[in-house]
Amino acid sequence: MGEWYLEQLEIPIKKSHDESSTVFETQGHRTEEVAEKAITKTGIAVFSDMEFKDIDRLISFARERLASLEAEYTAEKHGVDVVSAKIFKLVRNEYRERDRLKLIVQYRREFLNALLSEGQEHAEDIAKEYSEARTESDANYEQANASAEKQQDFQMTNSQNLKVYISI
């Protein structure tokens, strides 16, 4: 990279017959530009590539589109979360009863196996485990219920604010 730069410095800037234009020769490419635009007052050549500007404009457009899609996705995902919360509120008691019955069946099976194979003392430990599991399950349902209560409908103003925030 450094060698290429040094080679470019050695290439002379050739002036054409017209003093208002300057010819640059680099790697077999010739470009003519107005001298006032090409060379600043300090003598530095200003590089202006239209393809670069087009690519930069496309990148800006892609970033804006990505921000718009992310905002739309977030709004739709929030909508799905709100619907899921509403469904949970409607069937919460059925889910809780289903999980309670599963725990009862699981721990009764373990209790009977422990009672038959290891005796009364180990079976009492299983009963304590069941009590702890039931308490944990109830706590999980209370937490899920609180989370479902917090879900609110997403307003369009929030969607616009989200687009602005994401694009920054």
| Per-residue pLDDT band at 27 (split at 50, 70, 90) | very low
pLDDT at 43: 61
pLDDT at 154 > cutoff 60: no
Long-range CB contacts (within 8 A, 24+) of 63-71: 63/167, 64/167, 66/166, 67/163, 67/166, 67/167, 68/163, 70/162, 70/166, 71/159, 71/162, 71/163, 71/166
Q: 0.85 exceeded by the pTM?
A: no
d(CA 159, CA 146): 24
| Per-residue pLDDT band at 164 (split at 50, 70, 90) | low
| Per-residue pLDDT band at 136 (split at 50, 70, 90) | very high
* Mean pLDDT, the chain, whole residue set: 76
